Structure 1
Amino acid sequence: MILMAMGQHNNALPYGILARSSEERNLTRVLSTWSLALAALVIASTIFGAVHYFSSIPFEDQWDAYIGFFHSLADGHFQAWWNPQMEHRIVFSRLLFWLDGKVFGGLNIFSIVATFVLMVGLCACIAYESRRQFLAKSEWITAVAILSGLMFLWVQNDNFTSGFQNQFVAVYLFALLGYAQFSKIGDHRNLRIAIALLCGILSALSMANGLAALFVMSAQAILMRRPLREIVAVTLVGAAVAAIYMHGQTIPVLPVDPAMAHVHLPILRFFFVFLGSPVVFILKSNLVAGIFGFLTFCAFSSLVAYLYFTRKISAYHAFLIAGYGFVVASGLGASHGRWMLGFDAARTSRYTTPALLSYVLLLMLAADALPRRRTLVLALSVLFLTLFVPIQIRALGHSDRLPYFARADMYSWKLAVLGQKIGLDHPELDAGIFPADSHERYVNQADYAAAANIGPYGSGWLHDAGIVNFDPGKIDQTLCNGSLDGTQTDNVGRVSTGWVIASKYRNGDVLVLLVDTAGQTLGYGVSGMSRPDVRKAVAGAPRDSGWTGFARSGDGPLNAYAYIGGKFCPLGMAKIS
């Protein structure tokens, strides 16, 4: 019939429509191919970055939330599962920490892998809910590729490199799973509502902003014009969860940065920088980030208003709108609690996860609400993702022309825990992994971890430091190549440096023993320090072949031995310089 109708009109309109459709189909195929390539590149490089920047050494909050958690359990304080971490009750993350420690050796590997699994689940949830909204499979593939690429961008490096950060993904995954179930009003309605409520509770048990999940679900019910009893039920459950959650809770009050003391509308401005935080990694401007966050907020709000007043809100739309509403609630909560730290606090790497999620939800809503502009929406989204791809090169690690991007000098972390474990503590190094004003608490947790053999203290060089003593009967010169370059004094003792390359058992950092002329072990060192000069001079030398060690004070010369395979490989002798 269409062909007959076309034949009845002697003009170029039908041909133009067909030509345009053909062009759009070709463009869609190009977008699909390009977006898949971008997503593959982003995911692969981010996984590489997580491996490259991996460290089993606890960092900042993890000393309390991980080591301190096991410490409390060992002391019989089982309320540690429920104890607040700042304003959060991270019950779900503690379950992951417990599994990491009890089943996987506490090396952070499981916790970081869990973050990736949770992120895959978040992407899969959105992809699954959108599968029937795209008539053309190629369009759906393009949308899924874009959302996957955005949600795995390296701008979230803090969340992908720290085992403590899985909560930042879990809180949004559980909320969206709940909204997906609640948006369906077909079969098994009561069961779906129960599952939705359970997901909302799990979101709250991930982070404090999860408390908003059930109240956003109440707004979702109103938006969908659900029965009053359902709206009341969800609201009452949310209120009950909040009351239990906040019982005995003390919200910390942070000091106000003098630069923020006279800023007008600081919470609102912080919120828009929060929503635009990924843009900072491209344009390095809080103002531009705030403007971009404001524009995306206005765009989403306009789409919601259009759909609501034209009575076009579907179950799928309600799912997307609720998800965005939860991001907004989370952003407002973060703004209320963190604005006093300054706008730079709104652009931290960990906050880019909800911001990127908001862009994904905007893309999906615009693509469905504006079917005649779907190709344009997808094309702009692919362009947006393309702009971020150059940042992925920072996930590939250090080179002579490319600085570290993830976290600061991670080798100093090794020296911090090494010095503390062998009784030659250097507080200036400790400050790199734990706040300097809480140094005593760090020492307490580190002492417990060493005594209980938790995580990195349970095996490898950190376990052996302070325990292994030099044995002249076990010297083997064939196990390594290296040197002791020199020894100096500091306010704690002696500091020695050099380089070492293991000829055998090259499976990690090398422990170095510092020994006096009588054969007494006076200190220890560890490899992993960048030595580009050694790499240039010695064929096959790794970039991080340098080592630094700490020894007790004294006047005599020191010998250095690499501890490899249970034997000692000599590195040389040096006097104090």
Structure 2
Amino acid sequence: MSAAERIVPGPAGCGAARLRHPPRWSALAAWIGAAGLASLAVHTVLITLLTVARTHSAIPQADEWFSVELYDRFLQALQGGRAAAALQLLFEPHNEHRLVFPRLVFFADYRVFGGSGLLDKAVILATQALQAALLVWLAVRAGAGPAARVALGAVAVALLFSLQQGENFVWAFQVQFVGVFACASLCCALFAFGLRSGVAGRGGARRVAGAFALVVVATFTMANGLLAGPVLVALALLARAGRLAVVAAAAVALAAVAAFFAGYHPDAGGEPTADLLAHLPRVVAFAAGYLGTFSRFGLASRIALGACGLAATAAVAGALAMRGDALRSGRGAAQLALLGIALFAAGSALVTAVGRSGSGLEFVGSSRYATGAACFWGATIVNLWTLGRGGLPRRAGRLAAGLAAAVLLEATAAGQGDREIEMERRAAQYGAMEDAMLLGFYDLPALRSFVEPVDQAREMEPVLRRLHLSIFGTRDAGLLGRPPSAAAAPGAPPLACAGSFASAIAEPALGADGVAVAGTSGLRSRSGRPGRVYVADGEGRIVGFAHTGVGDARWTGYARARPGAVLAAWALSDAGRLCRLGEIPVSAGPPPGD
């Protein structure tokens, strides 16, 4: 008899039993559901990749200005033969973090890719892909069936590539945010399977040593990486791995803490411990809201979703602790690793709440937190699905996993469009800042709302020019004063197209020769990126730049000219052909101070 068959008692009075194949409809339904989830995951990834490419800007944002300043000091130290001082700069605190390993990525982007941020964003996307692959591998090792592997993998991919975490995709500086969770996840997996192989064995010792090395990497990737060591201690205790494993993990955790705090000066503006204890409910609510970031129905729903996740994590931890045999199988080791991933994310939510909850619970909706929430829920859903061993616990676990996946995926699918629009809006704002900075305009009232810190940007702009970084390493930076034909592809003939040059108004706030320009263009970028417009003076030299909106015929930008001067606008097609949009004299604007 094959394994696919089962024996069913025959009717009364019949001496022979009947052989019946199990129903195939349930398997077919499982594969149909898995295929649907896989298509959702593919769609999510494609939308996210296209949006990231379409909204990319090389202009530094927020904390990146401080990174530029540090890189300049790093180069000066190296050029002065002070290698030790240059190395020490990598460990210099940034807020409460020591961004040693992210800075290696930042500096490599400055050195190889001209500070474009392309390397940073490639690392971010690759890190998310590796995190998703790790969750799929753990689902396989945890015993998920073929259809379940596809479904669980699709859930993990959709969460980790959702635009709910748009800030971490659009901001190159967030290498450290996605990196610390990936380090901790791989750390937990290596440690769990290293313990199963035996610390004394060669394979087990290598895996455990790799896990300990990743504790150090996580610690010097972001401050919450300090939690990686304590999480390993908790896993060793839950798995009853023995005194050696517990002591070794505790020693590594303490060594990482000591290394991190050597020469560290804590922020004196932090909330006193007594106040934190007095506001413990606020801290816990913030942590739960962090884990429930995916919910789109307001603060209360985020806190409720996160609280459910914490309860599920506690249940999984209790189940593994009661079994006490997590290290006897690859399945148990995988479930232990998944629990470690969830514990690290929950701990990160708690330490973030300690530092940020005093600013108000409304900040819990920051899209950057969605990466930690995605790791937490991806690991928790896989664990809930695979943990049960038959009967009601198994059904309850799978029901909980299914409900959680449905809630999270609904939020992911519904939020993609809104986040995409938001990212495109900010990309248009940064496009305006690129145009302004190329011309030497910085302190624009229209840009103050999203350029922080303005003073730091103005101070670091000469550094970008000197080192040919960011927009000052692009072709446009060398086009000022040259004819528009220099922007076209060699030998490309002009192109006839619809469009207009609607206005050129002197803006005294920009400076004595500052001009705001606007118009329309009939050209459409096939890549989805904003189109480029060049503004030339009466002598045929480029004196201004402008961007079209994404999917919009309108363009706006800046130029340098005096009132009365005649300017001409040229749009550039994807094929590198120029299209003349018209010309217009510069009209006088409002007097300064109006």
TM-score range for the pair, normalised by the shorter chain length: 0.7 to 0.9
Counterparts of 1:125 and 1:243, CA distance in 2: 30
Q: Is the 8 A contact 1:71 1:445 kept in 2?
A: no
Match of 1:335 in 2: 353
What are the ranges of 5 or more consecutive residues in structure 2 without an aligned counterpart? 78-84, 327-331, 589-594
Q: Is the 8 A contact 1:424 1:551 kept in 2?
A: no
Residue 576 of structure 1 aligns to a residue in which SS?
coil
- 2:516 pairs with 1:495: yes
- 2:53 pairs with 1:62: no
> What amino acid is aligned across from residue 27 of structure 1 in structure 2?
A
- 2:454 pairs with 1:431: no
Counterparts of 1:384 and 1:460, CA distance in 2: 46
> What amino acid is aligned across from residue 468 of structure 1 in structure 2?
G
Tell me how far 1:161 sits from its aligned partner.
Answer: 2.0
2:431 to 401, 414, 422: 414
- Cα distance per residue 1:47-85 (max 9 Å; x no partner): 2222222222222222222x2343222222623322222
Q: Is the 8 A contact 1:480 1:500 kept in 2?
A: no
Tell me how far 1:330 sits from its aligned partner.
Answer: 0.7
> What amino acid is aligned across from residue 154 of structure 2 in structure 1?
A
Counterparts of 1:288 and 1:393, CA distance in 2: 19
Counterparts of 1:460 and 1:268, CA distance in 2: 50
> What amino acid is aligned across from residue 45 of structure 1 in structure 2?
I
Match of 1:299 in 2: 312
2:289 to 237, 251, 273: 273
Where in structure 2 are the equivalents of 1:242-321 lying within 5 Å? 242-252=257-267, 265-279=281-295, 282-283=296-297, 285-313=298-326, 314-321=332-339
- 2:156 pairs with 1:147: yes
Tell me how far 1:155 sits from its aligned partner.
Answer: 0.7
Query: TM-score under structure 1 normalisation?
Result: 0.83
Match of 1:365 in 2: 383
**In the superposition, relative to structure 1, how do residues 378 and 136 fare at CA in structure 2: closer, same or farther (>3 Å)?**
same
Tell me how far 1:388 sits from its aligned partner.
Answer: 2.9
Counterparts of 1:16 and 1:336, CA distance in 2: 64
Q: Is the 8 A contact 1:417 1:430 kept in 2?
A: no
Match of 1:445 in 2: 460
1:513 to 528, 535, 546: 535
Counterparts of 1:255 and 1:129, CA distance in 2: 39
Of 242-251 and 341-350, deviating more is 242-251
Q: Is the 8 A contact 1:480 1:562 kept in 2?
A: no
Match of 1:71 in 2: 72
Q: Is the 8 A contact 2:288 2:303 kept in 1?
A: yes
Query: TM-score under structure 2 normalisation?
Result: 0.81
Tell me how far 1:171 sits from its aligned partner.
Answer: 0.8
Counterparts of 2:486 and 2:23, CA distance in 1: 81
2:552 to 521, 543, 546: 543
**In the superposition, relative to structure 1, how do residues 457 and 338 fare at CA in structure 2: closer, same or farther (>3 Å)?**
same
Match of 1:380 in 2: 403
- 2:578 pairs with 1:558: no
Tell me how far 1:429 sits from its aligned partner.
Answer: 4.1
Counterparts of 2:487 and 2:144, CA distance in 1: 71
> What amino acid is aligned across from residue 82 of structure 1 in structure 2?
F
- Cα distance per residue 1:203-243 (max 9 Å; x no partner): 11221111110111111111111222322222122212212
Match of 1:485 in 2: 502
> What amino acid is aligned across from residue 368 of structure 1 in structure 2?
T
Match of 2:251 in 1: 236
Residue 559 of structure 2 aligns to a residue in which SS?
strand
Counterparts of 1:179 and 1:33, CA distance in 2: 30
Q: Is the 8 A contact 2:163 2:419 kept in 1?
A: no
Where in structure 2 are the equivalents of 1:91-106 lying within 5 Å? 91-106=100-115
> What amino acid is aligned across from residue 464 of structure 1 in structure 2?
G
List structure 1 runs of 4+ shifted beyond 4 angstroms: 1-5, 8-11, 15-23, 253-256, 260-264, 469-477, 479-482, 500-509, 520-523, 563-570
Match of 2:329 in 1: none
**In the superposition, relative to structure 1, how do residues 211 and 153 fare at CA in structure 2: closer, same or farther (>3 Å)?**
same
Counterparts of 1:62 and 1:307, CA distance in 2: 43
What are the ranges of 5 or more consecutive residues in structure 1 without an aligned counterpart? 398-403, 531-541
Tell me how far 1:37 sits from its aligned partner.
Answer: 1.8
- Cα distance per residue 1:280-313 (max 9 Å; x no partner): xx32x10111011111111221232133124354
- Cα distance per residue 1:256-295 (max 9 Å; x no partner): 8xxx99977221111111111110xx32x10111011111
- Cα distance per residue 1:126-183 (max 9 Å; x no partner): 2222313326322222222222222222211111222221222211111111111111
**In the superposition, relative to structure 1, how do residues 480 and 433 fare at CA in structure 2: closer, same or farther (>3 Å)?**
farther
Match of 2:49 in 1: 47
Tell me how far 1:16 sits from its aligned partner.
Answer: 13
> What amino acid is aligned across from residue 407 of structure 2 in structure 1?
F
1:36 to 16, 35, 38: 38
Q: Is the 8 A contact 1:419 1:426 kept in 2?
A: no
Match of 1:224 in 2: 239
Match of 1:464 in 2: 478
Match of 1:138 in 2: 147
Counterparts of 2:487 and 2:243, CA distance in 1: 79
Residue 178 of structure 1 aligns to a residue in which SS?
helix
Counterparts of 1:366 and 1:559, CA distance in 2: 65
Residue 86 of structure 1 aligns to a residue in which SS?
coil
**In the superposition, relative to structure 1, how do residues 498 and 426 fare at CA in structure 2: closer, same or farther (>3 Å)?**
farther
Match of 2:583 in 1: 572
Counterparts of 2:423 and 2:525, CA distance in 1: 30
Tell me how far 1:189 sits from its aligned partner.
Answer: 2.0
Residue 525 of structure 1 aligns to a residue in which SS?
strand
Residue 573 of structure 1 aligns to a residue in which SS?
strand
Of 200-209 and 494-503, deviating more is 494-503
Tell me how far 1:110 sits from its aligned partner.
Answer: 2.1
- Cα distance per residue 1:381-437 (max 9 Å; x no partner): 55335413532651795xxxxxx22264322323324334423333324434532xx
- Cα distance per residue 1:528-554 (max 9 Å; x no partner): 246xxxxxxxxxxx62551322335x4
Of 18-27 and 195-204, deviating more is 18-27
Tell me how far 1:522 sits from its aligned partner.
Answer: 9.5
Residue 405 of structure 1 aligns to a residue in which SS?
helix
Match of 2:81 in 1: none
Tell me how far 1:449 sits from its aligned partner.
Answer: 0.7
Identity %: 17
Of 267-276 and 156-165, deviating more is 156-165
